[in-house]
Every structure is written in C-alpha cells, then in structure tokens.
Structure 1
C-alpha cells in the first residue's frame, strides 16, 4: 500500500470529491470556438509580433517577510525595488517595517476596528497590503523621475494599486503622463469575473480565467473594448494556454502596439507568458524567511526579540 495513503483515506476521498466538482464545472464550460465567438461582442482578438524595445524597460516589484508570533507580537519587513537591464546605479530600493507594537499603528487599528475582537488582526493584514503597494508605487515614482520615457512594469493590476494607495497611484499617473513614462500593470493570476458576467452564461458566472483558458493562440491577445477604469488586454505570449493580463492607462492607448510588442519580445516563447524582467525583478527583490530572520537578529537584540517577537511554538523540542 502507498505509505502516503495510510491513515489519509478520508482526505483522499474528499480530494476526489473536489476533483469531481472541478470536472463538473469544466463540462459546463462552452467550447473555445463558442467562447471566442461570444467574446467578439466585448473586444477583439489579434496577433502581436515581437518588437525590440527602443526605450528603457524597468520592472518594479516588492516582497515582504514576517517575524514573530500572533498579533500584535510580530513585525513585517517590506522591500520594493526597481530592476532593469543594464542594472540601475545606484539601485532604487525602498524599505519599511510594520508592526502593531508601534503605538501609533495599534491606535489606528483599534480605532478603525472599533475595538471589536478579531478586527485588529484583519485590519493589520489590510494595512500590510496597502503599505506594500505604497512602497512599490514610491519606487515607481522614483523611476519616472529618473528615467523619462521608460516603460515601467508594475507587478499587479491598476485597480488594486489604486484602491490600496490612491494618492500615490494618481501621482504616478500624473508623472507618467507628464514625463512620457509608459505604465503597465502585469497580472499573472487572473481572478476577475468581468467577462463571465458580461457574457451572461446560464448558471454561476465563469471567472475570466475559465473563460479565456485555451481561447488564445500563442502570440495572440484579446483587447477589451471598454476603456474604464483602465485599458485591459489579455495575452498569451508563452506556450501555456492560461493567459495573463495587462492594465494600461487609457491616455496612453496610442502606445498600445509598441507596449504589447515589447512585452511579447520580453516573454520567453516556451514559458508561462510572463515578461522575463518581471521574474528577474521578483528574484532580485524577494526576501526569504531566513534572510529576514538574519536581518532582524542583526538589528534587534536577543533580549528584545525574546520579549516581543519570539514564538513559543518554535521552542517545541520536535
């Protein structure tokens, strides 16, 4: 008998039930040809050829690592950086530390959560996301100031960035338009259901990932006709049938052919469809747990870590 199954038969049964559910959902999905036909009412399909970039291309990404125990005894180290080839000198990097142990942070969370039990923990998670987005936008602003005319890729869609740090996002938008900086939001994991709702299928609406999976040929894009709040293009620039999405500013629509051509040129044809500079930026900025713990150990004395950060769980003998 497979040792993995010993004592886990119940788990396997539940997982097989989940597989049946997924198979049922897949059977309800219309064929790719039908989907393409119906999507024609929402936008247009076309092929994009690679275009060698004639401007500087920069990717901005962020990473974070957490050290500590349960709320409020933890800290989050955040890092955002710009990555380009050839590399930027000096490097453009921003850091921030977030912790509910900070009295100002704790006070703001308590006021926002109205002292309801459990709310502070939830609001802290929201604050971390907001501060991480703000950190990335600050780095992007520095890129816009230093490299007028560059193409700047942000990791994630514009809606999330705007909602989490609206003032900084709008400032970046203004700077980009003033300085001729082309902005692109690269969305690796499509979680929206905009297309499925618009197509009005019977039953539960399909999410956009399900709608578009396998609908695009390699090198093809689907451009939404709608331009608000942002211009969105779904693309399959790699071998994998799951597309990615790009957000662009409606004011920069005239540069769309150039932007898509550059993104196609930067994307490995045998990969999953993400421009290689985004992956390089992720590797460049990523904070491992070990690295964060070493940085904290170097800056925060042992006696302080023991009182405020060390998790009792990690003291287990096994």
Structure 2
C-alpha cells in the first residue's frame, strides 16, 4: 500500500494545526482569563478523616450509561442501552437499568434524528438510575459521568423533574466531564486576541493553563450557555494530565456543591486520565461490550431475522 501521499497530507494537517494555534501565547491567555473570567482556586487532598467528615460516612454514588449496537447501518440495527448507579458502600446494591432501541420500530425520521433518539434514550435511563439512587442510597452526593447540560437537551422534561427532585431532597448532583466541548472561554479570547477567523474550543485554550489541583471558578456575572440553562460550571485540573476536566452543578446547589471539589480531587489518581476513580469503576462495569451485544442478540433473535434485517454484507467478507 502506498502511504507517501497520506503522509504528505498529514504533514500539511500538522502545519495547519500549528498555524491555528500559534497566536495562543500561554501567559497572555492566562492573564486574560484571570482578569476577565475568574480566578484559580487551589484544591487540597483530603485525609481519611476529612473524607468521612464531608461524606458523613454515607459514601458517594457514581452514575454512568453505555450503549452499543448490533447490525448494519440505519435503520437495520439494534441498540442495547444500560445505566448504572453504584455506591461506594458495599451494603448498597447496584442499580442497573436496561433498554433496547430498535430504529425499525420508530418513526422514520432519518439518520440524524435517529442518533438524537438513541442519545435521549440513554440520557433518560441515566436520570432514572440517578433518581432511584436518590431514594435508595444514603449518599448525599451523586457524580454523573459527563456534562449536566446534555440532559436538558436530550430529555428536557425528565431533566426538569430530576433537577426539582434533587433540590427538594438535598441530594447534590455534580457532572464531571473529561472531554470539554464548550467554547465560552474561547469566544472571549478570540475577541481579546483578534483571532476571529480561528475555530477554538475551551479544551485547547485551557491546555496547560491550570496547575495540577487548581480549579477555575468563574465570576458570577459571566454569561454562558450553561449559566443560561441553570447550570454553573468550573474547569479543573485533577491530575498530571494537562488537559482540564469540567465540573457542572445545578445552579441552586452551587455554593454547597463546591465544597465537594476537594473530594473530587482526592479521589482522582495523580497519573490517571483526570476523573475520579469511582467514575472509572462505574464506567467499566456499565459498559455494553461488543461480546455482550453479540451474545445476547444471537441467542435471542432468530437467525432468519438476523440475516434478513441486521447482518450487513460486509460481515460476510472472507
């Protein structure tokens, strides 16, 4: 296989990336962020006694979801969806919810709409697991894997009810995002640095800006899409990895929820990927693997139906 053309094209991509970000001088970025957006707060590692004190010996809960599919391209596939709420207290049994999504049973709205439906089904299942956790688990704090913002987009009515329940029961909800996708800081920096033709996201402008154990708490008057949706957020560097993570809070819980930032930092391995270990554990346990999907579908869906509706021709290649 000839690779020289591909290498040349990739080298051109590398050059273009460097040109895009050559105006991002770190010291200048840091100065603008701290002057106009917020100040860094130093977090600390808690002792065992302090962890027991802040959790009131009631543990913590992690919630995550997973989705995987069997079959070909839209609409000829089946998706298996799973969500989990898991407490750090061994006596509290895991909450596991499952669902099956079949595009052929849905209204034919096209592939883009289908993707939104799939995502909404998983978001609803995650909120259900977290809601059951509020009732069944003693923990006062629930860590959600990912931004809280997407629940309001994927399933707004379910998110509204869930948020009201969290506020009324005093259960603190914190979304922890390892892949920051917002543009709030980037848009301000583009104006300040005259980079209006550049496509920037917060993840690249914040890369290496915060020291390990620092959290960027925004000024209260700073407007963003999240704040307009009733969500307050911070950026934080929780490990040696120079990439920041995001923390999302329900606005009404913000002041009290910030008290858990030290706990989140304490529970994150120094050499890890930058999120608390407990969420990593939940992520692994809730995962719907390829093997699981294949085994379940092939043991329950008849061969004739699989061949007629689900098996793509490419799977039959020698």
TM-score calculated relative to the size of structure 1: 0.89
Q: Structure 2 residue aligned with 1:183, among 173, 184, 206?
A: 173
Conservation of the 8 A alpha-carbon contact between 1:148 and 1:180: no
Q: Deviations over 1:59-93 (max 9, x none)?
A: 11111111112222111110111122234643211
TM-score calculated relative to the size of structure 2: 0.89
Deviates more, 1:302-311 or 1:276-285: 302-311
**Residue 96 in structure 1 maps to residue 91 in structure 2:** no
Matches within 5 A, 1:1-318: 7-31=2-26, 33-40=27-34, 41-51=36-46, 52=51, 53-54=54-55, 55-87=58-90, 89-102=92-105, 105=106, 107=107, 110=108, 113=109, 120-147=110-137, 149-199=139-189, 200=191, 201-203=193-195, 204=198, 206-225=200-219, 226=222, 227-228=227-228, 229-317=230-318
Question: How many pairs does the alignment contain?
Answer: 298
Deviates more, 1:85-94 or 1:233-242: 85-94
Once residues 68 and 91 of structure 2 are traced to their aligned partners in structure 1, the CA distance between those partners, rounded to angstroms, is: 24
Note closer, same or farther for the CA distance 1:73–1:88 as it changes in structure 2 (3 Å cut). Answer: farther
Once residues 177 and 257 of structure 2 are traced to their aligned partners in structure 1, the CA distance between those partners, rounded to angstroms, is: 16
Note closer, same or farther for the CA distance 1:252–1:148 as it changes in structure 2 (3 Å cut). Answer: farther
Gaps of 5+ in 2: none
Once residues 89 and 257 of structure 1 are traced to their aligned partners in structure 2, the CA distance between those partners, rounded to angstroms, is: 26
Note closer, same or farther for the CA distance 1:310–1:75 as it changes in structure 2 (3 Å cut). Answer: same
Shift of 1:205: 5.2
